[in-house]
Amino acid sequence: MAKGSAFNEELVEMLYVQLEPLSKANGLEVLEIEATKDTLRVTFDDPKGNVDASKLELLTPLVSELLDSIEAVDKAYSGQYMLEVSSPGLERTLRTPGHFARFIGSKVNIKLKSGVSSDRRVLGWIQGVQDSTVIIGFDSPVGSANVQVIELIDIERAKTVFEWQIGEKRTMAPKSGSKDKK
């Protein structure tokens, strides 16, 4: 889903189209574009796995060059803005039927558009995707009897939910420049 003010929604949707050939040429897809008052954030994903940081490093100047050539970007930002090119991290934004299909069996947090349902928040597991709908189960990751069918057009925002496994050790890497004390 496009993020940002109503003023920027048109710009963001146009940028998806403009950035698609560049992302495909690099084996990636544009996952999300967020336009705020002073920042343009473009998140790329690799459908086959994690995004290689070196690929993002090579892609950033190409994205910058492309954005410099788009008059609507200059108009929206008066020529100055912060560009952030990144990968999604552990939790993925889901926008298209293909995104949902790739994460069948995954836990997802969905926010529905205002007025669609009295309960705008849906937390469950992706059971399946059919055309322009996604099937969310509430009892288990696969084969849930209690399901809700949601039209993709009714989704304001959807993200996978990363859950630590029981017994999984959570450690933090030492900060750079820190020294072990013995």
pLDDT of residue 171: 59
Its pTM stands at 0.70
Q: Across the chain, which distance is largest between two alpha carbons, in Å?
A: 59
**pLDDT confidence band for 10 (50 / 70 / 90):** confident
Average pLDDT over all residues of the chain: 84
Q: What is the CATH number of domain 97-160?
A: 2.30.30.100
pLDDT confidence tier of residue 5, bands split at 50, 70 and 90: very low
| Residue recorded with tokens 């008066």 | 78
> Which of 89 and 20 is assigned the larger pLDDT?
20
pLDDT confidence bin for 179, thresholds 50/70/90: very low
164 exposure class (CB count in 10 Å sphere: 0-12, 13-18, 19+): exposed
d(CA 87, CA 79): 25
Residue 4 clears pLDDT 80, i.e. is over it: no
Q: Buried b / exposed e across 25-55, counting CB within 10 Å, b at 16+?
A: ebebbbbbbbbeeeebbbbbbbeeeebeeee
- Give per-residue pLDDT as tens, 80-111: 889 999 998 888 889 889 899 999 999 999 99
User: Which CATH architecture group holds 3-86?
Assistant: 2-Layer Sandwich (3.30)
**What pLDDT does residue 177 have?**
45
Domain ranges of the chain: 3-86, 97-160
Helix ranges (DSSP H) in 69-145 = 71-77, 97-102
Q: What is the pLDDT of residue 88?
A: 86
Residue with tokens 């993709």: 152
